[in-house]
Amino acid sequence: MNQSACLKNYSEDSDSSAFHQAKIPPTVTPETLLELAATHGTPLFVIDHQELRKNYATFQKYLPRVQAYYAIKANPDPAIVQTLFNAGASFDVSSIAEFQLVHALLQDLSPEEQQDWIWNKVIYAHPIKATETLTTLNQYKPLVTFDNREEIDKIKKYAPDAGLVLRLRVSNAGAMVELSSKFGADPAEAVALIMEAEQQGLTVEGLSFHVGSQTTNFENYVQAIDLAALIFKQVRAQGYSKMNLLDIGGGFPAPYDASVQPFSELAKRINAELERLIPKDVQIIAEPGRFLVATAAIAVSKIIGKAIRHGKLCYYINDGVYHTFSGIIFDHCQYHLEAFKDGPSEICTVFGPTCDGLDVITMTDELPSNLECDDLLYSRNIGAYSGATSTYFNGFPPATVVHVNR
């Protein structure tokens, strides 16, 4: 079955079983992907802004007390930032470059309005900051995280007007990407760190934590909220009443496969703990990144070669781990490839286009065995941390980015 025939079937019967098996978001059908590939060539990276808006609305629906601060690191495409800005999102930034992406959206505001917006809608969530970064940030008086005494001294010297948020070390058990070994204050030191910052004339606005990226162990959130509630109680018992914010971080899992429980189930657990333990006067924020953008992008690539290696069918495509599929290495994520054509299938290996033996996309995907050069494949749910380190290694350029439903 050729691609044009496949395209005809999809366009004539959008409710066909093939459509549902493909599981492509309804607003970006296989027909759409093939048309875009014909227009723009491959490799192609298609971003669906309707899916972005839907994911943001879902987050707000199930966690109504929590304001979403989009973690720009998940995908810093300016058009994504613009869409979420228009939808009402706040922002988690971790570099000056990310901060400038947000600041560029505020050019129609007066300096005073810009400062007020940043104060209320941006958190610089990297606990360790260069002195130059702090100096640049200070004029905007943002919220910044910290997790150690050295950082208190730096903030006091270079960004004394910033509001502080203490990041706690919490369990990352079951997370795809573990962060607790790199960041987070020992909970036993939390009260002392808050008091030390106060003694230096700084204001600690609240607490934050991160349970690890793509966390499917929902107990991590329960334990972290319980810990934060205990520290709030201890600090208030010391007479410190300036903390009125809890940042429950990121880690909200994207639905990569059926093993990931529905977001509504996680939200139910979080809402119960917040209602039980966190006073109503405490503002709750979060830093979703992957959850908002993972399902909002699809990669389309072209087969450039085919071979049998050690008795196994191998395909070579024009995208790989140095480009859109870099998350395989840097995000510990496995993306699955699917074909537009039908046919007898078998377990295949798929390689990227470079000469590097590391450039392996999958060794376990089941694909039709009748695919040929110039046939197309696609990979869905690839919007988060894909192409995070995209390069021109070996002379191969990154995928062309196309935006739909803006």
Is residue 314 among the annotated active site residues?
A: no
Strand-strand pairing, 297-309 and 312-317: antiparallel
Amino acid identity for residue 2 in this structure: N
pLDDT of 143-168, one tens digit each? 999 999 999 999 999 999 999 999 99
Produce one character per residue of 182-192: b if its CB has 16 or more CB atoms within 10 Å, e if not.
Answer: ebbbebebbbe
Q: Residue 292: how many CB atoms within 10 A of its CB?
A: 31
Tell me the torsion sign for CA atoms 224, 188, 283, 88: negative
Delineate the domains of the chain, giving CATH numbers in brackets: 3-48+295-404 (2.40.37.10), 50-293 (3.20.20.10)
Helix, strand, coil share (%) of the chain residues, nearest 5: 40, 25, 40
The contacts of residue 303 (CB under 8 Å, 6+ apart) are 315, 316, 317, 371, 372, 373, 374, 375, 376, 377
What pLDDT is attached to residue 68?
A: 98
The span from the CA of 376 to the CA of 334, in Å, is 19
Catalytic residue (choose from 6, 333, 355, 373): 355
Single pTM value for the model: 0.90
What pLDDT is attached to residue 66?
A: 98
What pLDDT is attached to residue 207?
A: 98
User: SS3 letters for 353-390?
Assistant: CCCCCCCEEEEEEEEECCCCCCCEEEECCCCCCCCCCC
What pLDDT is attached to residue 101?
A: 96
What pLDDT is attached to residue 9?
A: 33
Averaged pLDDT, groups of 10, the chain, 406 residues long: 36 32 68 96 97 97 98 96 97 97 95 92 96 95 95 97 94 64 84 96 96 81 94 93 94 89 94 96 96 97 97 97 92 92 96 96 96 97 85 90 95
What pLDDT is attached to residue 20?
A: 33
The span from the CA of 246 to the CA of 226, in Å, is 12
